[in-house]
Amino acid sequence: MSRALFSPFTIKDVTLKNRIVMSPMCMYSAMNRNGFLEDFHFTHYISRAAGQVGLIILEATAVTPQGRISDQDLGIWDDQHIEKLAKLNVQIKKYGAKTGIQLAHAGRKATVDGDIYAPSAIPFDENMKTPKEMTKEDIHFTINAFQDAAKRAKKAGFDIIEIHGAHGYLINEFLSPLTNARKDEYGGSLEKRYRFLKEVIQAVKEVWEGPLYVRVSANDYHPEGLTVTDYVQYAKWMKEDGVDLIDVSSGAVVPAKIDVYPGYQVRYAETIRNLANIQTGAVGMITSGLQAEEILKNNRADLIFVGRELLRNPYWPYAAAKELNTEITPPVQYERGWNF
Ligand code: FNR
C-alpha cells in the first residue's frame, strides 16, 4: 500500500526517498571546542541514515565562533571544517539518505567568552550576558559569514541548507519585536525586521543553487510577540525571495510557558502552508507512523521532522513502516535476514 510517509519528495534536483527528516539537534559534543566533528557525530548521524531517515539535517552549526550557543557546538566558520563534514556526508549517503546542515548564529543566546551580539542590547534573562547592539558593520560581517558558510556547505557536499531562523537565536531576534528595538532599516515594521533574514537569504542564494529551507518559531507565546499570522507574511516574503520550504517550530524567543502535546506545532505548519502557499515541515512530538501519515495525507505539511523520537530509536522509520503496514528497503547488509 502506498503511504505518504514513504513517498519521495523532490525540490530542485534533490529527491528524498521518504518524508522523514532528522530534526537538527545540537549535541554539544565538539569537545575540541573548535567546531570540528568528532567520532561521536559520525556514529550519531550515520546510525540514523542506516535507520532509513530520508534527510539528516546536522545540528545548528555556527557561522562564526561568537555565534555558538556553547563552545562545544559544531562550526563551519573556517575552511578547515570542510574536510570532516565532507567525510560525514559520504558516509551518510551510503545508506541512501540526503544531507542538510542548519546554519546558525546564536545571537544573544551565545554563551561563549567575550562579547556577544544581537539586534538590540536586551539580555534573554537575568542569567545571560547583555549582548552588544550590532552595528551595520557587524550586520554585514554576519551576512557574509552566512554566505561563506553556504559556500563551505556546498564544498562539503550537503544536499540542502537550512537557515536557523527560530528559537530566539540571532535571525529570530531580528524578526521579533520583543528582541528588536532598532530604529534603523533593520527594525520597526514587520518588513524592516525581515530585512536581516532577507539579506541572509539573498547572500546564501548567491552561492547556493540547491534547496533552501528556513526554520522559524511561528509563535512567540507572548502578548506583544509574533503569532502565526505574522509568519504567514514572513513566509510569503521568503517564498518570493526563493526559499523552498519553511520548517515550522515555535517559541524560545523569550522565556515563556508552552503547552506541549502531541503535534503541538502542526497547526502552524498547516496555516503557513495553506495561507502562504509554500511547502512546510512539521515538527514537535510527532512520534508515530500513523500520526505522521495523518499530517501528510491531510495536507498539513510536506515533511515530518522527528527529533527526540529518533534519539530514542535511530531505526524509527522501520517501526513507522511496520505500523503503517508497509515495507521499506533496508541496507543491503540487512536484507538477507529481513524476512525471518
Ligand atoms: C533540539 N532542537 C533544535 N532545534 C534546532 O532548530 N536546532 C538545534 O540545533 C536544536 N537542538 C536540539 C537539541 C536537542 C537535544 C533537542 C531535544 C532538541 C529542537 C528539535 O529540532 C525539535 O524541533 C524539537 O525537539 C521538537 O521535536 P521532537 O523532539 O518533539 O520531535
For 6-19, what is the mean pLDDT? 98
- For 194-231, what is each residue's pLDDT tens digit? 999 999 999 999 999 999 999 999 999 999 999 999 99
Query: Annotated binding site for FMN: which residue ranges?
Result: 23-26, 60, 102, 215, 307-308
156 within some domain: yes
Residue 129 makes CB contacts below 8 A (sequence gap 6+) with 108, 111, 116, 123
Does residue 1 have a pLDDT over 80? no
Identify whether the C-beta of residue 250 lies closer than 8 Å to the C-beta of residue 258.
Answer: yes
Does residue 331 have a pLDDT over 90? no
128 within some domain: yes
* Total domains present in the chain: 1
Q: Is 308 in the pocket of ligand 1 (CB under 6 A)?
A: yes
Share of the chain above pLDDT 90, in %: 95
Does residue 248 have a pLDDT over 80? yes
For 262-289, what is the mean pLDDT? 98
For 294-320, what is the mean pLDDT? 98
Does residue 86 have a pLDDT over 80? yes
Does residue 301 have a pLDDT over 70? yes
Q: Is 164 in the pocket of ligand 1 (CB under 6 A)?
A: yes
Q: What is the mean pLDDT of the chain?
A: 97
Rounded Cα gap, residues 336 and 257, in angstroms: 50
Residue nearest to atom 22 of ligand 1 (CA): 307
243 within some domain: yes
292 within some domain: yes
Which grid cell sits at 17?
526517498
339 within some domain: no
- For 30-52, what is each residue's pLDDT tens digit? 999 999 999 999 999 999 999 99
Does residue 329 have a pLDDT over 90? no
Q: Closest by alpha carbon to 284, among 23, 17, 110, 89?
A: 23
Neighbour count for residue 51 (Cβ, 10 Å): 22
CA 56 to centroid of ligand 1, rounded, Å? 13
For 142-162, what is the mean pLDDT? 98
pLDDT at 335: 80
170 within some domain: yes
Identify whether the C-beta of residue 25 lies closer than 8 Å to the C-beta of residue 12.
Answer: no
**294 burial level (CB within 10 Å; 0-12, 13-18, 19+):** middle
What is the residue range of 283's domain? 4-334
- CATH number of the domain encompassing residue 26: 3.20.20.70
Handedness of CA 116, 118, 124, 126 (dihedral sign): positive
143 within some domain: yes
Alpha carbon separation from 297 to 6, 227, 245, 290, 323 (Å, rounded): 12, 25, 18, 10, 16
Query: Does ipTM surpass 0.90 in this model?
Result: yes
Q: Is 26 in the pocket of ligand 1 (CB under 6 A)?
A: yes
CA 117 to centroid of ligand 1, rounded, Å? 23
First-to-last CA distance in the chain? Answer: 21
* pLDDT band, very low/low/confident/very high, at 336 (cuts 50, 70, 90): confident
How long, in residues, is the chain? 340
For 108-114, what is the mean pLDDT? 97
pLDDT at 62: 98
Given the DSSP bridges, would you call strands 212-217 and 245-249 parallel, antiparallel or unpaired?
parallel
pLDDT at 332: 83
Residue nearest to atom 14 of ligand 1 (CA): 25
* pLDDT band, very low/low/confident/very high, at 339 (cuts 50, 70, 90): low
Given the DSSP bridges, would you call strands 98-104 and 55-62 parallel, antiparallel or unpaired?
parallel
Alpha carbon separation from 188 to 107, 159, 182, 192, 236 (Å, rounded): 19, 35, 7, 6, 19
Rounded Cα gap, residues 63 and 88, in angstroms: 18
Rounded Cα gap, residues 62 and 34, in angstroms: 10
pLDDT at 235: 99
